[in-house]
């Protein structure tokens, strides 16, 4: 970890509870509504809280309202009604204080046409009141594999590089809350991994993370809590592991044999199905029955050639809730 | 100013922006001013003292300065905002912890800088060819500042209002350009017939050019107090409009 001397902010309107850490939720949203134009409801009576230091995932299909919610937090979209507060500061009344605390990577790709990456990041630091931030900028550029492009005009970068530049911009002032709206869209696999590493590092240092992604594996691995929304309504809001347990804790063991076993009564305690062509047996069992299922499989007295285990993934939960299963 | 460093950074960025394309933003306007000076000035040398008692060239220079300053201060803030709409960076303006007042000031001061540089370069270059009286230097500076600030502010309003470059071009070609040309850059309204003279009087640019002429030459068509009052009023109105645009999120927030 690189130690950097960064001038921290002096907030003008410091609510007492901001000093006495932990008295408020990092993000509190109550009965939030957003109506675009006169009649299109993008968010409907949203209630949610994000705790300090967690990685919070906001999932949902296209048009669910994820970006709308994020854009309300950072001032790009006006709320229609409801309460939103960030670290005790109200949106939009105390928007300047809110904006100092958050760093946001918007979903829309955008890049400056006049300045190099290095300059863009220096300006970005200045906007947040930081005068000399070269060391941290270098650290971010290296972490996001942009260092050798630092003198390139931002607009001339490839799509994935632009996205990474936007991530660097959002991080430049070491925000308390980092909001990432599909930060990995268009970023290659290798760099996606290092991007999430960086996010996890920042999280360990105390940054609260709010993210959206369409990659459910990513979300399952990284998020502490997940909120699934669809058509502006919250369908589920829970710890990731609880969400995964929702469909029951059943797993499927698939065994492939050279010769199909005949004494199938040995596994009668479990539900199973046969596939004679593949010479395979699929046995469903729940998590705590592992040793029992192993024991019974052994007594089939046939050599298993291969073994696959399928667990419920977030994708199944997601499909189940959205109703496309 | 709550976020002084933020404001200064935004000002610096806007300044660096036009400086990075200085050929286009500073020298091209200078060249076109000098061309006007050559085209209109040289053939009309003999007409000299017919206008407010000075040579036509000395009469022309404040007009050309004014044209360069109006065009460039307006151009700077409006095109900067148009370009950031086009590249998508305009929404970043909404996310920054910089107040509406600071944003307006940063954009305005940067655009004023460009207008003032163009005006100054036009004057200095013209002084090589023309003998121009510098009657009231403090007043010259004040008028230049006020003209540049008003059009920088109007440029902000236009840059946010215009949906696309077409609308911007319409504003430029059908409103701004006629206002400048009909505002007496090249002639004195005293030489116009009654009806055209009356029509000219509703053009605010007329008062600006006239105020600058007064500051340079010491005499003009309109009372300097009237011109200055109009300049101050335009500044107040356009500042309020620009501030309101950022404050309300007009056209930027949805
Ligand atoms: N500026 C706007 N004006 C009108 N309607 C809008 C606007 N922005 C978004 N919407 C509508 O609001 C709904 C939610 O959009 P939003 O961008 O929040 O979805 P999302 O969950 O981020 O989707 P995605 O996964 O595609 O990014 C969509 O139906 C969209 O058409
Ligand atoms: Mg979105």
Q: What pLDDT was estimated at residue A3? A: 33
Q: Cis omega before residue B15 (within 30°)?
A: no
Mutating to test ligand 1, I would choose from A44, A65, A163 the residue with most ligand atoms within 8 A of its C-beta, which is A65
Nearest protein CA to atom 3 of ligand 1, as residue: A36
Whether residue B54 is predicted with pLDDT greater than 80 in this model: the reply is no
Count the alpha carbons within 13 Å of B48 in the hemisphere toward its beta carbon. 8
Provide CB contacts within 8 A for A268, sequence distance 6+. Answer: none
How are strands ordered across the β-sheet holding A27-36? A40-50, A27-36, A81-86, A89-91
Question: B202-253, pLDDT tens digit by residue?
Answer: 999 999 999 999 999 988 888 999 999 999 999 999 999 999 999 998 988 8
Between the CA of residue B92 and those of A76, A313, B10, B89, B110, what are the distances in Å?
8, 36, 12, 5, 18
For residue A9, give the nearest of A136, A124, A176 by alpha carbon: A176
Detail the DSSP E strand segments found in chain A. Answer: 27-36, 40-50, 55-59, 81-86, 89-91, 102-105, 177-181, 208-212, 225-230, 233-239, 250-257, 271-275, 280-286, 304-310
Running along chain A, 325 residues long, what does each successive block of 10 average in pLDDT? 33 43 74 93 94 93 94 94 93 93 92 92 96 94 93 92 93 95 89 90 94 88 93 91 74 86 85 84 82 86 84 74 65
For residue B91, give the nearest of A90, A58, A125, A70 by alpha carbon: A70
Q: What pLDDT was estimated at residue A186? A: 84
Whether residue B182 is predicted with pLDDT greater than 70 in this model: the reply is yes
Whether residue B47 is predicted with pLDDT greater than 70 in this model: the reply is no
Q: What pLDDT was estimated at residue A22? A: 47
Nearest to A99 among B9, B20, B95 (CB): B95
CB < 8 Å from B in window 155-194 of A: 155
A11 phi and psi angles, rounded to 5 deg: -85, 135
Question: B143-157, pLDDT tens digit by residue?
Answer: 999 999 999 999 999
Q: What pLDDT was estimated at residue A307? A: 87
Q: What pLDDT was estimated at residue B52? A: 56
Cβ of B193 below 6 Å from ligand 1: no
Cα–Cα dist B254/B249, whole Å: 8
Give residue for tokens 């479990």. Answer: A270
Question: B60-85, pLDDT tens digit by residue?
Answer: 999 999 999 999 999 999 999 999 99
Maximum Cα–Cα distance for chain B, whole Å? 60
The whole-model pTM stands at 0.86
Q: What pLDDT was estimated at residue B78? A: 96
Residue in chain A closest to B102 (alpha carbons) equals A127
Q: What pLDDT was estimated at residue A324? A: 59
Sorted by where each begins, the domain ranges of chain B are 4-248
Name residues with Cβ closer than 5 Å to ligand 2, which is an ion: A 66-67, 107
Q: What pLDDT was estimated at residue B138? A: 97
A201 Cα: distance to centroid of ligand 2 (angstroms): 25
For residue B208, give the nearest of B177, B242, B185, B186 by alpha carbon: B185
Q: What pLDDT was estimated at residue A152? A: 94
B87 with A111: CB under 8 angstroms?
yes
Cβ of A42 below 6 Å from ligand 1: yes
Q: What pLDDT was estimated at residue B229? A: 96
Q: What pLDDT was estimated at residue B45? A: 62
Maximum Cα–Cα distance for chain A, whole Å? 77
Nearest to A77 among B96, B97, B253 (CB): B253
Q: What pLDDT was estimated at residue A279? A: 85
A113–B96 CB contact, under 8 Å: no
């Amino acid at each position: 970890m690189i130690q950097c001397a960064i001038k921290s902010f002096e907030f003008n309107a410091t609510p007492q509870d901001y000093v006495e850490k932990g008295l408020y939720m990092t993000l509190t949203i109550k009965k939030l509504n957003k109506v675009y134009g006169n009649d299109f409801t993008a968010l409907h009576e949203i209630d949610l809280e994000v705790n300090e230091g967690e990685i919070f995932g906001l999932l949902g299909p296209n048009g669910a309202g994820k970006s709308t919610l994020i854009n309300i937090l950072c001032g790009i979209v006006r709320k229609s009604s409801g309460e939103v507060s960030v670290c005790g500061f109200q949106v939009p009344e105390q928007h300047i204080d809110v904006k100092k605390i958050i760093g946001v990577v918007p979903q829309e790709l955008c890049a400056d046409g006049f300045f190099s990456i290095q300059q863009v990041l220096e300006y970005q630091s200045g906007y947040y009141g930081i005068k000399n931030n070269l060391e941290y900028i270098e650290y971010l550029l290296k972490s996001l594999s942009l260092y050798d492009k630092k003198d390139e005009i931002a607009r001339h970068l490839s799509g994935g590089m632009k996205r990474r530049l936007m991530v660097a911009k959002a991080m430049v002032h070491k925000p308390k809350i980092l909001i990432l709206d599909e930060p990995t869209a268009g970023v290659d696999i290798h760099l996606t991994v290092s991007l999430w590493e960086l996010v996890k590092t920042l999280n360990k240092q105390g940054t609260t993370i709010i993210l959206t992604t369409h990659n459910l594996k990513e979300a399952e691995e990284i998020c502490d809590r997940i909120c699934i929304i669809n058509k502006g309504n919250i369908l589920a809001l829970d710890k990731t592991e609880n969400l995964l347990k929702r469909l029951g804790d059943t797993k499927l063991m698939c065994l492939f044999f050279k010769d199909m076993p005949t004494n199938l009564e040995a596994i009668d305690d479990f539900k199973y199905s046969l596939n004679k062509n593949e010479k395979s047996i699929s046995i469903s069992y729940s998590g705590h029955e592992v040793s029992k299922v192993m024991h019974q499989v052994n007594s089939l007295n046939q050599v298993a050639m291969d073994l696959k285990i399928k667990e419920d993934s977030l994708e199944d939960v997601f499909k189940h809730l959205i109703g496309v299963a | 100013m709550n976020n002084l460093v933020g404001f200064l950074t935004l000002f610096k960025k806007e300044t660096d922006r036009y400086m990075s394309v200085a050929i286009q933003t500073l020298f091209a306007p200078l060249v076109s001013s000098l061309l006007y000076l050559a085209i209109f000035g040289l053939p009309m040398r003999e007409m000299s003292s017919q206008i407010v008692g000075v040579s036509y060239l000395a009469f022309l220079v404040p007009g050309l300065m004014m044209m360069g300053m109006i065009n460039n201060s307006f151009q700077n803030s409006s095109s900067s905002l148009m370009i950031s709409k086009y590249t998508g960076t305009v929404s970043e303006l909404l996310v920054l912890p910089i107040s509406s007042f600071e944003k307006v000031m940063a954009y305005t001061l940067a655009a004023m800088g460009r207008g003032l540089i163009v005006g100054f370069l036009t004057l200095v270059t013209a002084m090589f060819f023309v003998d121009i009286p510098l009657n009231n230097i403090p007043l010259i500076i004040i008028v230049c500042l006020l003209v540049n600030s008003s059009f920088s502010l109007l440029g902000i309003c236009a840059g946010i209002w215009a949906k696309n470059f077409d609308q911007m071009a319409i504003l430029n070609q059908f409103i701004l350009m006629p206002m400048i040309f009909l505002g007496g850059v090249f002639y004195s309204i005293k030489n116009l017939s009654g009806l055209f003279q009356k029509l000219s009087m509703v053009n605010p640019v007329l008062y600006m050019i006239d105020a600058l002429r007064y500051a340079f030459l010491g005499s003009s068509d309109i009372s300097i107090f009237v011109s200055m009052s109009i300049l101050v009023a335009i500044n107040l109105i356009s500042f309020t409009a620009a501030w309101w645009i950022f404050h309300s999120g007009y056209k930027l927030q949805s």
